Amino acid sequence: MTNLERLKIELNNKQYFSDEVYSQFLDENGLDQFDIYEKANDQVNLLETVYSVLRALANDLDAFRKVETEFVSTTAAYQHLQKRLNDLRGEIDRVKHETNYEDESGNGSSIISYMFYNSH
């Protein structure tokens, strides 16, 4: 499956934006829409892309509510989206820690980076 297809799965196949806009989000996070998704290499960047899409929706709740119709109020939609963003940030931090990202000196992640990722 391609990065674009995987992004759509992560977004529950909701068409919040056009494929061209999704492609731009992917590009901004270092992924090409046509490349094959490889979890080991692309998971963090894909999750960051999902986060970017949801942040954009948080700035345009009307667009979010047009697709997500179960919310009776803007407040409920906003609260749901903020919870999803917080959960997603936690998942990104967890994956970063598990993949043992290297720091600038080429060393594996340290306890300081672990504390940083888990303090948000």
pLDDT at residue 117 greater than cutoff 50: no
Indicate the pLDDT class of residue 100, thresholds 50, 70 and 90.
low
- Residues with Cβ < 8 Å from 34, sequence gap 6 or more? 2, 3, 4
pLDDT at residue 11 greater than cutoff 90: yes
CA 7 vs CA 11, 31, 42, 68, 82: distances in Å: 6, 11, 11, 17, 19
Rg (alpha carbons) of the chain, rounded to whole number: 16
pLDDT at residue 114 greater than cutoff 60: no
Matching residue, tokens 């949801």: 54
Within 10 A of 25 (CB to CB), how many other CB atoms are there? 21
Q: What is the pTM of this model?
A: 0.75
The 10s digit of each residue's pLDDT in 21-77 is 999 999 999 999 999 999 999 999 999 999 999 999 888 888 777 777 777 778 888
The 10s digit of each residue's pLDDT in 45-60 is 999 999 999 999 888 8
Q: Taking the domains of the chain in order of start, what are their residue ranges? A: 3-117
User: What pLDDT is recorded for position 19?
Assistant: 96
* Length of the chain (residues): 120
Helix (H, G, I), strand (E, B) or coil at 49: helix
